[in-house]
Structure 1
Amino acid sequence: MSTITPIGLQLTGRLAVVVGGGPVAARRARLLGRAGARLTVIAPQLCSDMTELIASLDFAHRTTGGEPATWVPRGYVDGDVSGAWLVATATGNPQIDDEVAAWAEQHQIFCFKGGDAEHATAWAPALVEHGDATIAVVSSKAKDPKPRRTISLRNKISSLLRTTTLDRTASAASSSYAVGAGEVVLVGGGPGAVELLTLAAKQAIDSAEVLVIDRLAPREVLNWVGSGVEIIDVGKSGGDHPVSQSEINEILVDRALAGRRVIRLKGGDPYVFGRGGEELDACRAAGVPVSVIPGVTSAVSVPAAAGIPVTHRGVARGFSVITAHSDLGAAPLADNHTLVLLMGVAQLEKVSTTLIAQGNPGSTPCAIIEDGFGPRQRTTVATLETLAQRAREADVKPPAITVIGDVVLRADALRDSFSAFSLADSSLPGSSL
């Protein structure tokens, strides 16, 4: 006889507390956040998935009025879960998890307990979304002797729904695949202009049964795919991360194990700050065949669209591509070298301060190129010293790429703009530029 009773809970606007900041805690937090809960996370540190989730919920709160998330950056203190409707603890420390679970039990609050399902009072199901219905698979035993069994059953249900008349969008081609016969192709979509896709990329997209697409991939390809193709938009924008990287990995593996040909279309090149390596590792770990089609990276093509060569004899013998979201470390000096910064428009103040402190002159030419190859492509010139100020004045919006170095002056239009800008700004150092 089953000891588990599957029920639906209305958590919208109600407090849910997650103790722990690691991957398991992040999965529980995402489940609760998607249910509309008012989320509080208690942890000294957060993993990248948890950080993305909190940023996403905060963005949703600002833009659509969704429930915000609160991070309490410290360890658990007795009573932290007071007032919660549901609690999840997954700290990796059994003693702390026991304390949280005991407090929740005493106060009649249901509790997910990471790594100790036998002593939990709530269990996370394996979910299948089908139209406006959600199908949950939960083991009938608190301590499942085969923890992947529910996931496997979920995958079989998902496959069945996609290959029968229950799913009206399923294509005839997809139904001919047997479970386990699928594959994943990681495709570089280039800088956003559909004409810069490679022939191999076009052929892969034409063959897709599932298309998992990023925000910066060329959206025109959506007009190419048939009505039977499942389209999954996992795009991320500044502060808005609707689908975490671990969830993207799960989607790729899930669809491929269900026997489908999955095309993962990414902006630029999958291996240039595209986390393509992580997706490849996830597929290989699950035994899913995976291949990669390179793409034209925006690090080179977007500067070219603004007339800037990232290397030029006598000006720059090399270039470095850096994400402005991370610690720059000891970046090469922009002297006979070019620095290309991807993402991170909001980080330009920190970037310029760091690079100047490392020995780059404040007068080093810079260019910020917005929406390369897109309808609102625009270039704003600055010096390293005035980079953040100019970005604010011009109201620069992502996506944007920043080029730092004398190669900026190779573009005639930019050289003229830079000269006019330099003369107009008396705060700039005097002017071999």
Structure 2
Amino acid sequence: MSADNNNPGFGLGVDQKLTDAVRAAVGAVTDPELRQPIGDLDMLREIAVTGGIADVGIALTIVGCPAASRIESDVRRAAASVPGVLDVHVDVGVMTPAERAALTERLRAGRPRGIPFTAESLTRVIAVTSGKGGVGKSTVTANLAVALAARGLRVGLIDADVHGFSIPGLLGLVDAEGRTVRPTRIDDLILPPVAYGVKTVSIGMFLREGDEGAAVAWRGPMLHRTVQQFLTDVHFGDLDILLLDMPPGTGDIAISVGQLLPHAEVVVVTTPQAAASDVAIRSALVARQTGQRVIGVIENMAAYTLPDGTVLDLFGSGGGAQVAAALSASQAADASGDVPLLASIPLSPALRTAGDAGTPLTATLNETGDVTDAAADDPARRALIDLAARLAGVPRGLAGRPLTVTPH
């Protein structure tokens, strides 16, 4: 990039000290999708400061990058913040195929293509299951993911409920026209959209435009391939916790996840109703048959206390404790340990309203990090945040993980 006659710096030499300062400032700008500084991603091109005018070249990963405007704006702001810079010109280009290939290799950290969430991985994998639909499993999973992210954990979320996906809507991953936000692809690497600090992927993000409301009528092999691709091709980066929002029941996806992630931990969601709790026990037993460990039960839609103090238990009581007791008894035989009732989440109009609006109740509701008084005091919100704290503190099981032993 060269100066022209309209540039106040025309005819002046490059200020190397100022150029180096601009390069450092611009290199620290974070790519909103890859969550890494663009300097570390080799996205910087020619940078020169002449007569106070900064010419900055950057290369985006792909043509039509959805984060292009934000990256350009952040780069311009970073360059302008350097003392001595009077104006900024930004030239935006695109990486070459060879540069993209090098980037994907770097992002994979040299690991061969495959499922990174192995038994040796430091990422905890937690599958959230239920015996039947309609128990609020997806709402619980979305709010739990957001609450874990708010604790500073790196969280990923896979919407494995292919036939009944709802996670994008619950997390507000829709545009102004109501279309589901789509991931960005860099060659064969898929970058998951991020909402409330949670990296998320769902089959709803891959349907053709206009088909967002269509039914996904797939059978076993397609379902298995979809889950496998989510685990293999989606670049979550380093995660502390990966949550899977499982479909209800014990069908193809539950079996596939058991085969692909036999070391995953399982949390069972049920309502207090006996009919729901009986079925929930079966889903947990199937997970155990694949080697997964059930670490707890969540009771959703528990008794709701009205403003006058009246307790409304629309779905009965005791179902969560019943499931926990039954699973504890079944795990006693193989010394897997007790299965605790992790949380009892009361019925909550605020939880339902927040989900419909795509603003999880466990999220902060304004830029200062505060929540409204009504949301802060909501019993369901408190129960979900306490659940996140409890799950974050549960030690990961060592079953299936190699232990390094140094002989003396």
Query: Could you state the TM-score of these two structures normalised by the residue count of structure 2?
Result: 0.26
Q: Which has the higher contact order (CA 8 A, sep 6+)?
A: 2
Query: Could you state the TM-score of these two structures normalised by the residue count of structure 1?
Result: 0.25
